[in-house]
Structure 1
Amino acid sequence: MAKPTVAIVGRPNVGKSTIFNRVVGDRISIVEDTSGVTRDRIYADAEWLGREFALIDTGGITMEDEPLNVQIREQAQIAIEEADVIIMMTSAKEGLTAEDEQVAPILYRSGKPVILAVNKADNPEIRAEIYEFYSLGLGTPYPISGSHGLGLGDLLDEVIKHFPEDTEEEYDESTIKFSIIGRPNVGKSSMVNAIVGEERVIVSDIAGTTREAVDTRFETADGRDFVVIDTAGMRKKGKVYEDTEKYSVLRALRAIERSDVVLCVINAEEGIREQDKRVFGYAHEAGKGIIIVVNKWDTIEKETNTMKEFEQDIREEFQYLSYAPIVFVSALTKKRLHALPDKINEVFMNQHLRIQSSILNDTVMDAVAMNPTPTDKGRRLKIYYTTQVAVAPPTFIIFVNDPELLHFSYARFLENRFRATFNFEGTPIRIIARQRK
């Protein structure tokens, strides 16, 4: 089920990022001790009163070399395109400004619900001064303080009132949903067409989300059901989308959210770019099955070790995706594309693999015998019991004497032992340490 999307829009220095961080809480930081995972955020999952939603911080979306008012207008346009509900952020400290008066009519004309927030209203005297914001024509201004967290509850209460009813198509549990993500011009659309058109029995278009997206369902010759989650949004034409690639990230995130398996596509001609790291990092964080696909391989001049060297570069740049298989294809010549449905199916099965507790604990005991648990200030980590508590991604709880003693490096060692013993290719693994009661 697709989550509603909320965007925060406003001129610089009104506290958009502070509010963003407050609302999403500690989910903002990526808990990875590996290079290559991006740490700047424009999008995160949040929750209020049991309602989950995606939050966009347009402060994280920058247009270089653009005048300030143009930047703000274009960020407002993106919020209109992507969001179900828009929070327009202003500042009580500076009062109503010309930029505020420029953005408000654009948001109003969008027809989307717009909630007006007046930040930096830290004390009663300042709160009494917010009435000038009524002139923006966006209804009641909500006074808030990002630094103290005041008024956020009332603001979020109003936001969730405007969430749309979900109209998304429900698929059978056995249907594998996958998306193809990557920067513009990596060949996503031609890959979709080639995969779906190659050897399929049924092809149908099904209404996806409320965004007028269309998912493509197809069935392989051996009767397996697949759905390609719509990525047409990532190919959207228009000045804003052509000006900067950052916006394609937002569409990719929607597709990631609804997928079981994500095909992360790299253009062989251009190599690895920073935006690849950003988008692929989101798929990893979301716990999705991942296959790295190098497209346009037919256009590369090859020597004996060309593929091996390209693979080494990928492993170096995406250390946190060491579990993801790499497939070299050509959407144009259809080379190796026929292998993708089988690989997607395999990764999906690995995502849903359940390991019996007795076998899991034997594996942990063998691992500890091979590499004894670490000590810290004279105290040694003791592992009492391990159990799997979830799939997609496989999640394991390890009961120990003190969770602080399970260092990142030893957790990584245990993860590697699990991978060596069981087939978890293509799926991240989560290991959680809990103190035994």
Structure 2
Amino acid sequence: MTDPVNDDGTWADEADWDIGEDLEGELEEEFAPPPVVAVVGRPNVGKSTLVNRILGRREAVVQDIPGVTRDRVSYDASWLGRRFVVQDTGGWEPDAKGLQQLVAEQASVAMRTADAIIIVVDAVVGATSADEAAAKKLQRSGKPVFLAANKVDNEKMEAEAASLWSLGLGEPHPVSAIHGRGVADLLDAVLEKLPEASEVATRTGGPRRVALVGKPNVGKSSLLNRLAGDQRSVVHDVAGTTVDPVDSLIELDGKTWRFIDTAGLRRKVGQASGHEFYASVRTRGAIDAAEVVVVLMDSAETLTEQDQRILSMVIESGRAVVLAFNKADLVDEDRRYTLDKEVERELAQVQWAQRINISAKTGRGLHRLVPALENALASWDARISTGRLNTFLKEVVQATPPPVRGGKQPRILFATQATARPPTFVLFTSGFLEAGYRRFLERRLRETFGFQGSPIRINVRVREKRGSKR
């Protein structure tokens, strides 16, 4: 392990710095993805009010604005010192068609992406058909499910909560999200069953999980059908124990891949039409359940704000990425030139992702897909040893020191990779590192170690030398 830098530029004795022997283990625990609690339920039952109560601050939008749909929003939360993420599955227009289907879909996605689920039911109204549809899904989830009987503002109303035993989800927890009554007891029960780290995000084994995402009509279903058909493999419909959406196991280049159900290989086109919320929930759910995401874009069309939004969602998720430009058979020389310029200009934030040009219709370029997926996953899984990382940083910093800030030049004292998936590095420094310098370090990390197709996260910790604390 290489030692940190002294004031005179020499590499110091690590014992001078408050860096414990168990540092790497501690950091791995700290940066492990926190468990996820999804809050589901039909509109106007108090989901967002309960989320705000759990967070202890007003963040979730409490009032659904007619005509505006929202997808899931995640918030960092803690209870009695335990960190977790709360997913507010949002709302949609109260008069949305197919309400029962939408609530059930919301429950399905929560089942595959959350470690525990709270279903909120209005105890005053009682169980509706939409509540029952969601409950049926959740009974098969294999995940801890907690029934929050909301709007129980006093003891007299607890009889209404008791009637919700009929949903088959076990004991109803009477709560009043608006007043806070019973919420602490609910959270105690949830935390008792919640794993220390997200089991969904960290699960390994089995075929690698791929999500195909992109705006409507970009060719997701065509690509999935082409991959399944061209390889002449049996496409197994695997109705997993915890999910209703059906994943497709497809053999490509002698290896089995699990394609997360986003494109709806078996679904009729008309089935989900008109439900922006449905599509949005499915996209997010697929990203969360995947290890690598193929972002599909239309070569023949100008890149849109929707393309950018989906891409941002994928980058934020920390998943490995492949950019696939479909309909390459429709592109002439002029469009090819324009597209290259657009990609250079509009997709600068993902220069590190491999780009492939394909045609789901003709099969052109599809031989590039598996190598791109394998490359992205290898980068996503990669770990750099602490010694190698510090040797690399010593050379980089000596050649290009961090910019002076407030009259002092910050120094990088020590670095380690806290986790993979995606590669996350923690730098211990003597001062703040400018964002520009962090981007410079990311570029150099990529030049030296590759990481093509994977996001990189750099976390800076400013530390004081022992004896200098006051």
Pairwise same-fold verdict (TM > 0.5): yes
User: Is the aligned partner of 1:9 residue 2:38?
Assistant: no
How far apart, in 1, do the equivalents of 2:419 and 2:193 lie? 32
Cα distance change, pair 42–72 in 1 and its aligned pair in 2 (3 A): farther
User: Where does residue 247 of structure 2 map in the other structure?
Assistant: 214
**2:397 counterpart residue number:** 368
Aligned to 2:411: 382
Return the TM-score normalized by structure 1: 0.72
Counterparts of 1:284 and 1:157, CA distance in 2: 33
Q: Deviations over 1:245-304 (max 9, x none)?
A: 33223223333233222101113345434443343333222221101111112123x234
Q: In the alignment, which residue of structure 2 is the partner of 1:401?
A: 430
Cα distance between partner residues in 2 of 1:52 and 1:206: 33
- For 1:326, what is the secondary structure of its paired residue? strand
CA contact (8 A) 1:20 1:57 kept: no
Tell me by how many angstroms 1:89 deviates.
5.9
Q: Is the 8 A contact 1:23 1:46 kept in 2?
A: no
- For residue 162 of structure 1, report the CA deviation from its aligned partner: 9.9
Matches within 5 A, 1:105-120: 105-108=129-132, 110-112=134-136, 115-118=147-150
Which residue number corresponds to residue 330 of structure 2?
299
Whether the 8 Å CA contact 2:293–2:322 is kept in 1: the answer is: yes
* TM-superposed deviation, 1:433: 1.5
Q: Which residue number in structure 1 is paired with residue 354 of structure 2?
A: 325
Aligned length: 391
Structure 2 distance, partners of 1:397, 1:159, is 31
The offset of 1:367, in angstroms, is 3.2
- Using the TM superposition, give the Cα deviation of residue 159 of structure 1 relative to its aligned residue in structure 2, in angstroms: 6.1
Q: Is the CA contact (8 Å cut-off) linking 1:233 and 1:251 kept in structure 2?
A: no
Separation in structure 2 between the aligned mates of residue 238 and residue 20 of structure 1, nearest angstrom: 34
Question: Which residue does the alignment assign to 1:104?
Answer: 128
Q: Amino acid of the residue matched to residue 283 of structure 2?
A: A
Matches within 5 A, 1:18-417: 18-20=49-51, 23=54, 42-44=72-74, 55-59=87-91, 62-63=92-93, 68-70=94-96, 73=99, 76=103, 78-80=105-107, 82-84=109-111, 85=117, 87-88=119-120, 104-108=128-132, 110-112=134-136, 115-118=147-150, 127=154, 130=157, 134=161, 137=164, 140=172, 142-145=174-177, 151-156=182-187, 172=205, 175-198=207-230, 203=234, 205=236, 207=238, 209=240, 210-212=242-244, 213-220=246-253, 223-233=254-264, 236-237=267-268, 241-300=272-331, 302-304=332-334, 306-402=335-431, 405-417=432-444
Distance (whole Å) between structure 1 residues aligned to residue 154 and residue 408 of structure 2: 53
Q: Provide the residue aligned with 2:16 in structure 1.
A: none
Alignment-derived partner of residue 142 in structure 2 = none
Contact 1:104 1:136 in 2 (8 A): no
Q: Which runs of 5+ in 2 are unaligned?
A: 1-34, 61-69, 112-116, 139-145, 166-170, 465-470
Task: Verify: 1:431 aligned to 2:469, yes or no.
Answer: no
Higher mean displacement: 331-340 or 240-249: 240-249
Aligned-partner Cα distance in 2 for 1:136–1:233: 37
Residue 348 of structure 1, CA deviation: 1.5
The structural deviation recorded for 1:42 is 1.7
Q: Relative contact order: is structure 1 or structure 2 higher (C-alpha 8 Å, sep ≥ 6)?
A: 2
SS in 1 for 2:273: helix
User: Unaligned stretches of 5+ in structure 1?
Assistant: 30-39
Alpha-carbon separation, structure 1, partners of 2:427 and 2:118:
41
| Cα-to-partner distance string for 1:166-193 (whole Å, 9 max, x where unaligned) | 99xx8747x4332212233221122123
Instruction: State the percentage of identical aligned residues.
Output: 27
Matched position secondary structure for 2:217 = coil
CA apart distance, 1:229 = 3.0
- RMSD between superposed Cα atoms in Å: 4.2
Change (3 A) 1:10 1:230: closer
CA distance 1:73–1:316, change in 2 (3 Å):
same
Using the TM superposition, give the Cα deviation of residue 155 of structure 1 relative to its aligned residue in structure 2, in angstroms.
2.8
Change (3 A) 1:279 1:142: farther
Aligned-partner residue type, residue 414 of structure 1: L
8 Å Cα contact 2:108-2:243 kept in structure 1: no
Residue identity in the other structure for 1:431:
I
Whether the aligned pair in 1 keeps the contact of 2:149 and 2:175 (CA below 8 Å) is: yes
**Distance in 2 (alpha carbons) for counterparts of 1:327 and 1:43:** 31
Q: CA deviation at 1:369?
A: 3.8
